[in-house]
Every structure is written in structure tokens, then in C-alpha cells.
Amino acid sequence: IGDGAPAGNYGYTNTGYSVYEEENERLTESLRTKVSAIKSLSIEIGTEVKNQNKMLSEMDNDFDSTGGLLGATMGRLRTLSRGSQTKLLCYMMLFALFVFFVIYWIIKLR
């Protein structure tokens, strides 16, 4: 078949073919290991993204409820400001600031 090589091994000498075959097997195993590592890393990234999205959704709900509370408080303050009760208005504003800082502190500790 070619250059005196036996017809049964398709032109490859036994030693040359086995060296290339072993190198291919080694490279294939190395590639398989790397693909497995990348797969597990991508699964972990997906899990982390899901957890972060859940946390962001919870924070969005918290901020919405806080915004609703502040909106209602500001509405009450506007109602009070129409009257001449300035002392009561000052107390309400101080209370609203206190509530805002307490909510801010609670969210910050989470």
C-alpha cells in the first residue's frame, strides 16, 4: 500500500499511530474536563442570577410599599397644611422623617 507498510494498518506504522491516538485521547479527555467545568460554572452562574433577581424583586416591592407610605403621609401633610395648625404640621413632618429613617435603617440592615 505504501512504503513497505503492512496492508492491515492502512499505511500507518504501529508506533506512530498509537502515539497520535494516545495524544488525541489525552486531548479529548482534557477538553471533556474543561467542558464539564464550564458547564458546572454556568449552572452556578444561572443559580446566582435567579437568586439576585429574586432579591431585586423583593427590594422593588419594599421600595414600592415605602413609596406608598410616604405618598400617603405627604397627602395627610398637605391636608394639614391647608389649615392653620402649624404646630401639628411640624409634629407630623418630624414623625414622617422619623418613619422614613426607621424604614431606611431596616432596609439597610437586610
Q: What CA–CA distances, in Å, run from 97 to 4, 67, 103?
A: 96, 13, 10
Query: pLDDT by residue (tens digit) across 44-60?
Result: 999 999 999 999 999 99
Q: Is residue 100 part of a domain?
A: no
Q: Is residue 108 part of a domain?
A: no
Whether the model clears a pTM of 0.85, i.e. scores above it, the answer is no
Q: Is residue 4 part of a domain?
A: no
Domain count, the chain: 1
Residue 3 has pLDDT above 70, yes or no: no
Give residue 68's domain range. 14-83
Radius of gyration (Cα) for the chain, nearest Å? 36
Residue 79 CA to residue 73 CA, distance in Å, equals 10
Residue 89 CA to residue 14 CA, distance in Å, equals 97
